[in-house]
A and B are shown apart, each in its own frame.
Chain A
Amino acid sequence: MNFGSLALGLGFLLILIGFWGLLTQKNLIKIVIGFSVVDTGVHIIMVGIGYLQGRTAPILDAALMQRTAAAGNQAGASADVGSLIVDPVPQALVLTAIVIGLGITALLLAYVVRLHEQRQSLDISSYEDLKW
């Protein structure tokens, strides 16, 4: 079991928990929270997918350079940084995804505020006028 798969499993679990909230809670705010949890689960999965067992952060600082040199010595050849760091792309993506999730959450909450203002109710079943 490596940490990547573990993160994946955890992420999926979070998604399920989030969906439980999303699908069963009547309170609008809890629904939003449910969504947030789902979103977080996805982010964990994203990071988990970029993870490679036993590697370090993709920052080419002094510490990494030392390890590069060390690894190169061990192998008897010049090792490149590619064998030492985790995949930086998912990390970049997750950054974007988080911000997007934040935007959605903020907007959802704004909706909740306004909806509440209309009917003084946070129950999702109070807002079923549009149907069929």
Chain B
Amino acid sequence: MVDQLFFNPIYIIGIGLAAAFFLGFFHRGTLAPRIIMVAVTAAFTIISLAWMQAFLLQGQTAEHGQAAAQVFTAGFQPPFSINLRMGAEEAFLTLLINISGLLGGIYLLDTLKKMGSHAVSVFIILIMGMNGIIMTRDIFNLFVFMEIVSIAVAGLIVLQKETNSLAAGFKYMIAAGIISVFLLLGIILAYAVGGSLNIDFLTAADLPGAKAGMIALFFLVIALLLELKPFPANGWALDVYDAAPAGVSAILAAAGSAAAYYALVKILPLGSSSHYTLVAAAGAVTFLGSNLLGLKQHRGRRLLGYSSVGQVGLLLIILGFSEVLGAQRDYIAAGIILSHSLAKAILFWLAGMLKQDGLEAWAALRKKPILLILFGSAVFALVGFPPFPSFFAKWELILLLNGGRFYLWSAVILGASFLEAVYLFRWFGYALKMDNEKLAEPEAPLFRLLPPIVFGILLYGAGWYMGSILEGFANFSYIPLAFILFLALIDRLPAWIKNTVSIAGVTFYIIDLYPRLEGDLLRLIFAGIFLIGAVLTLLSGYYYKGRRAGFYPLALTMFAGLAVLIEAANLLEFFYGWELMTIGSYFLLIRGKKSMPHGYSYMLFSVGGSFAMLFGFSLAAAGAGSIAMSALTGVTVLPMLAYSLMLVGFLTKTASVGLHIWLPGAHGEAVADIHFMASAILLKAGVFGLITVLLGMGAEASYTGPILFVLGWIGALSALLGNISASFQESAKRLLAWSSIGQLGYIVFGLATMSHLGWLIAISYSVTHFLYKGILFLVIGGIALKLGTPYMYKMGGLIKRMPFSFLAVLIAIITLSGVPPLVGFAAKWITYNLIISEGIYYQGFIVLISGIVAFLYLFRMIYTMFLGQLKDNLRTVREINIWFLIPVYLLLAAIMVLSFFPNMLLRPVGEMLSGYFPDGAIAWTGTLGTTRLGYYDGGAIMYVIGGIFVAALLFFFSLRKRTQQVKQFNIFYSGEAPSRPELSHFSYNFFAHYQKAIGVLTLPLVTNFWNWLSGILHGTADFFRRIYTGNGQTYAYHLVLYIVVVFFLQRGGM
């Protein structure tokens, strides 16, 4: 139990006021007021901390054993005097407020110094007032504290005496005045009806029972709601966020919102369910509206305002759904509040360090990496990524809402969150990639740096804690993440050390993981792709000289995410891993020089996809009543929607047609080894997800037909369009990127057939694609790195300089194209079997055609790069880095082994698949595989073709010709000798005729569609944000109008 003598909550008020009044003795310029301020806020923090700790400990030892402490003032019992309460919620919120106050005060030290001791008093009173709002149990006293806070805020806004701040302050005061009028009306009416001002007694008084009581409640609720800045009556609040000194905005966003939220939390129980609905509806409108309008905002501070308002809207939804969320409401709200408050404070603090406020100007943060890290953490926390608290909160929220069948609401929440992601990631992309040479370095003296850093650490800590107390996530192993943290800490070391450490870490993990997966071939295969892939990529990482700042923690984050997917014990862990992987891959993909727009679109599709997935998972969990992976089997709640959404979520990662537009750019601009990770490995995560979902879905239920039909067509069209588009690329990297879309199309097609052979194709493709794409990415990437260009027409004749690369690429493309004798043919052969035995002729036909089209780009690539004329500037270029060749040849060896013994892969996979799809398995006799329809003997083919080839070669040698090696230009050229290789290297626009004939298929319809959608959203945003005219009177009008409209809406509804 907390010692009331030392940690009496009333001290917060007493000490705060005493200190504030005492400061009146000081005059400006002295240090003492600021020391007092820090000491006082620290004391507040300690008091809250003592209570918080008590509640946490109690909460863990006994079930809700600790009752909230009551503090009576004036020595009388409530309701006759005012009482304060300190319960778990109050402890949590006051702690948040007081830490914000402490750090926010430190951040404002120099501003406060300039303004003198009075400003310090105002600051202390502000924090004290917020505490008061949280703790008081008396509605009129609540009003008093709210007014204290309003006035203090209005005072602090003008710490920065600019016209805009002044105007914002004036608008704010007018708005606060209007709100206070209605709040007072509500209070006095509530008193008249309920005969008390004490919240607990008013609850007993049953206000909703009387008509006048309902009206009183309406005024109370609407006034407190307006304090929370509901859209669209919130222009004044945006101005404040925008124009107040950054340090003040930070506190407003972090602590102010929390306090205002809790005021409403206290009042709402007085009312009836209609009030909860009102709050939820207002929240939904706000969350959606302000995030929509945020799309068009190009200044950082104001955008933060939009985002803050939006997050509060989310809180309102949560509050409005108290009944549905039940005991979890406070958990969810705490998660959102923590993320929002900490992240927003960080962002505002960062804003304060920058000279300019345009979103592009945030690129200046790159000059101090720690600031960039903080910015990134905050952005990811706001969108709801792991490991931050909002991730868990959003998960629980959507789960419970969909569990209660409030689908539309969760759709709104996810939609609005997506909009928020849209602008946040655009912004973050600017910070990561925009040119920052002309920007001034951010001003970050220690006292300004400290607060955001502490909050950053708290953000991660809170995420960890929130996860650890959530059922279903308590057993999550944080060891990989700890390893990543370690890597982040040694980021200053040279790359090769970190590389070695990373390889050691991953290897250790593989060794640790293997026994756990033994016997589960499916997961073993994917674990192999993910983790062996990781080792191979990292192996190639030795090429890098220097530090490679930030690369290793992020790469390992991606691999950790992938590993979590494999090991996930339930949907939550799976989703966690998925999001973790997304984070890591985002950062890897955006490392390329011109990757900003592509990393951005990757992120948007990822976020959209993961929201779809979340929705689907929550439906699954709603039906199954648990979040175990088995919930995916036989979903009962809206199964068609659930499965479709999950599939869509995974299809964003497999970049299937319609959701693919991010891939060519993102992969096309990525650096060599990252390209390997992103394409050969990362895309398989989507495949793994599809497999997981489809295994659960099965093909029996009636809804699976249309889903599989569509899925099959998506796969087939992806294959076709991917391959055709690949043929028209000038950049080798983009060519490979499109090729990946096509290859993944085969896999999706195979999975959609829901048959033994289809899955065999999918899984064997997953493996072989990993092998040959790995080779291609590493070699091509290595070459692009070496030559400094990915454009194929700038290459040519490289076979002379890079024979090893050529050989590797040759083998890879033979495998890819499916030409016998290499293992790629096996997949083609199975495809024919599949198409005929399953009767899927049309999709199958498309897939087969795509396979033929693949020849186009494969030849183009190998020809324009390695064959033809060697350019003058490349005559001395050397073989690619040995660290690329080593993994390449390891992969090559694997291809050769599988080509001789395709049964090594296909047989066990087939046996495993027979467990799911017993019909149509391939029978194996040695290397000979037989189906109902045909047969294929990989070994024999290898020997026969090899034999013929050797024989033909021997025959040729036997002719004993004198062979003369000639120079490059020694060709038939109409009797002329070409003077420059550029003139005789046919490479640019290689398939011009083909494009002329069927280029219509590659019109960027999908891209146009998404652009059109984005245009509509932005247009809507631009149209509606004009309600914020900037005129204080208009805002006043909005406020009154909001009240009137809601009043009549509610009456109509009553």
Contacts and interface: CB of A to CB of B under 8 A. Distances in A.
Given A49-B188, A93-B140, A115-B167, A103 B151 contact: yes
Contact of A131 (B161, B163, B169, B1029): B1029
Question: Looking at chain B's contact residues, is the secondary structure mostly helix, strand, loop, or mixed?
Answer: helix
B185 A23 contact: no
A77 interface: no
Interface stretch (B14-22, B598-606, B726-734, B1031-1039): B1031-1039
Contact of A39 (B144, B181, B1031): B181
B852 interface: no
B170 A28 contact: yes
A111 B147 contact: no
Interface string B135-165: 0000010001001001100110010010110
A23 B169 contact: no
Interface stretch (A58-66, A67-75, A78-86, A120-128): A120-128
A111 B167 CA distance: 8
Considering the complex of A and B, which 5 residue pairs feature the smallest CB-CB distances, nearest first? A131-B1030, A128-B1030, A127-B167, A111-B170, A118-B163
B173 A104 contact: yes
A129 B171 CA distance: 12
A89 B82 CA distance: 13
B174 A100 contact: no
Contacts, number: 119
B88 interface: no
A93 B188 contact: yes
A130 B1033 contact: no
B144 A96 contact: yes
Interface stretch (B189-197, B561-569, B752-760): B189-197
Contacts of B1037: 23
B880 to A, nearest CB: 52
B593 interface: no
B184 A19 contact: no
Nearest to A22: B1036
Interface string A22-61: 1100101001000100110010011001000000000000
Contact of A118 (B166, B239, B1040): B166
B1031 A125 contact: yes
Contacts of A127: 163, 166-167, 170, 1030, 1032
Given A23-B1033, A23-B1037, A49-B191, A108 B177 contact: yes
Given A118-B166, A127-B1032, A90 B188 contact: yes
B144 A115 contact: no
B861 interface: no
Given A108-B177, A132-B1028, 5 more contacts: A22-B1033, A23-B1036, A114-B166, A115-B163, A130-B168
B206 to A, nearest CB: 19
A97 interface: yes
A10 interface: no
B910 to A, nearest CB: 62
A86 to B, nearest CB: 13
B140 to A, nearest CB: 6
A26 B1031 CA distance: 10
A13 interface: no
Contacts of A129: 163-164, 167, 1030
B167 A104 contact: no
Contact of A38 (B140, B181, B1033): B181
Nearest to A89: B191
Given A35-B177, A93-B140, A46 B1030 contact: no
A15 B181 contact: yes
A131 B238 CA distance: 9
B173 A49 contact: no
Contacts of B161: 114
A131 B1028 contact: yes
A38 B173 CA distance: 14
Given A49-B188, A130-B168, A100 B147 contact: yes
B23 interface: no
B174 A31 contact: yes
| Chain B interface bracket (under 10, 10 to 19, 20 to 34, 35 or more) | 35 or more
Contact of B1030 (A42, A45, A130): A130
B191 to A, nearest CB: 7
B573 interface: no
B189 A49 contact: yes
A15 B185 CA distance: 11
Residue of B155, B187, B1030 with most partner-chain A CB within 10 A: B1030
Interface in B273-303: 296-297, 302
Given A108-B170, A129-B1030, A42 B184 contact: yes
A124 B1033 contact: yes
B1026 interface: yes
Contact of B242 (A26, A93, A130): A130
B164 A132 contact: no
B373 to A, nearest CB: 31
B176 interface: yes
B192 A49 contact: yes
A43 to B, nearest CB: 8
Nearest to A100: B147
B219 to A, nearest CB: 11
A132 B297 contact: yes
A108 B297 CA distance: 29
Contacts of B168: 130
B243 interface: yes
Given A22-B174, A124-B1033, A111 B1026 contact: no
A132 B235 CA distance: 8
A114 B176 CA distance: 19
B180 interface: yes
A115 B170 contact: yes
A112 interface: yes
B243 A130 contact: yes
Contacts of B192: 49
Contacts of B178: 22, 35, 38
B1025 interface: yes
B174 A108 contact: yes
Interface string A104-119: 1001100110110011
B1009 to A, nearest CB: 28
Given A23-B1033, A124-B1032, A127-B1032, A107 B173 contact: yes
Contact of B177 (A45, A104, A128): A104
Nearest to A96: B144
Contacts of B189: 49
